[in-house]
Amino acid sequence: MNILVINAGSSSLKYQLLNPETGELPAKGLCERIGIDGKFTYKPQVEGKQVLDAIDVAMPTHSEAIAAVLDILVDPVDGVIKSVDEIDAVGHRVLHGGMEFSDSCIIDDEVIKAIEKCIPLGPLHNPANLMGIRACQAVMPKTPQVAVFDTAFHMTMPPKAYRYAIPKEYYENDDIRRYGFHGTSHKYVAKRTAELVGKKNFKMVNCHLGNGSSLSAIKDGKCMDTSMGLSPLAGVPMGTRSGDIDACVVQFICNKYNMSVDDCLTMLNKKSGMLALSGVSSDFRDLGDGADKGNEDCKLALEKFAYEVAKYVGAYAAALNGIDVLTFTAGVGENDGLVRGMVCDYLGFMGVKLDPELNKSRGKEMVISTPDSKVQVWVVPTNEELMIAQDTAELVNAAKAK
Ligand code: ADP
């Protein structure tokens, strides 16, 4: 089975052709500068096929971008499939499913309307995701399309976790509540961890630590709480996002500097976090290098990050009445033993014991705790595209079986 996984942004579109059963990845790539000058990248993962790196291809809209993707995938020389009919379905990443979607679903007119309804909650991403969906419908009208939402995995949270303590009318009239993001990654890691530990019923905290970071408290595979909120700004500090912050900071800055709320939020999303604390970079590799050279601001950025991540782990361990497993994933979680070590140093009180040798590992699926650690600590590399492909295949196969 071949699933085309699409992640459409406003001027870009990432694609992967994947086999959901084996995880095999015949090709992937990226369309950039859609609506501007159009740059096309194609990375076949099969021997002897030519890589295209940011070549000029006219892409006035997402439709031409998808057409270019299909053209190269079926190219007689450099393609990896013979015809578009070999693509069984398309799985689209959609950022915000609001209260409309608690699971992935096959796209029809009703689903498109519901995704449109969620635009106020995901004003930047949902319109772009819809452009990707409409472009695929136009170019491959017979192929089933599935929407996989970044928020859906978190819809199992109880009200005490998702409600904000503000007047009820904002929840009832405007759907203002905690939603959470990175849901596809948290779902993948939860599912994979259950396979690795060989149990279905257990309690875990997953730390998705990348450029954007979020933690989820997960019981028996279901999300009980998560650190991001109505938007991805909430939770731990991130590469360029502040994370949780007293709302009065916004009021103070807007009043004092005559700044609009939108501009202040752009500052909190794009110029804050590790970038702001270090004054050097949002990239954790640069922070590590800086700290090694004695840069105190880089040290503070790393210390703040590890401290806040550990506080969330402690809070979620309390929320779940103890945890069995702690997992690390995404760019930092998978690769940065220093950060993992700094986080786990705070967690000795609950019996977390890292093996320093195992913790040196990078990017590999493995246990990094000692055999006598009360909580098993794992590195589980995430694979959002594979999760999207698996959800898509499952829905399409179920529909066929009906
Ligand atoms: P995104 O949120 O953009 O998907 P990623 O999950 O790819 O982000 O994570 C990007 C972050 O991972 C960057 O800050 C990068 O520095 C960090 N990272 C990647 N590889 C390493 C590494 N080997 N050591 C430390 N940090 C790393």
User: Looking at residues 140-163, what average pLDDT do you find?
Assistant: 97
Residue with tokens 């500052």: 267
Mean pLDDT calculated for residue range 47-65: 96
| CB 239 less than 6 A from any atom of ligand 1 | yes
Test site for ligand 1: of 215, 336, 382, most ligand atoms within 8 A of the Cβ: 336
336 lines ligand 1 (CB under 6 A): yes
Atom of ligand 1 nearest to the CA of 287: 16
DSSP 101: -
Per-residue model confidence (pLDDT) at position 57: 97
Q: Does the pLDDT of residue 17 top 90, yes or no?
A: yes
290 lines ligand 1 (CB under 6 A): no
Residue 147 and residue 184: Cα distance in Å, rounded? Answer: 12
Share of the chain above pLDDT 70, in %: 100
Task: Kindly list the distances between the CA atom of residue 159 and the CA atoms of 175, 177, 235, 315, 321, in Å, as whole numbers in the listed order.
Answer: 13, 9, 18, 17, 18
Beta strands in 19-150 (DSSP E): 27-32, 39-44, 52-56, 89-94, 105-106, 145-149
Mean pLDDT of 319-329: 98
Give the pLDDT score at 402: 86
Q: State residue 124's pLDDT score.
A: 86
Would you state the pLDDT for residue 389? 98
333 to each of 19, 202, 318, how far by Cα in Å? 26, 21, 22
Q: Is it the case that residue 213 has pLDDT exceeding 90?
A: yes
79-125 residue pLDDT tens: 999 999 999 999 999 999 999 999 999 999 999 999 999 999 999 89
From the CA of 274, give the closest atom in ligand 1. Answer: 14
pTM over 0.85: yes
Q: Which of 30, 240, 283, 284 to mutate to test the pocket of ligand 1 (most atoms within 8 A of CB)?
A: 284
How big is the chain by its Cα radius of gyration, in Å?
A: 22
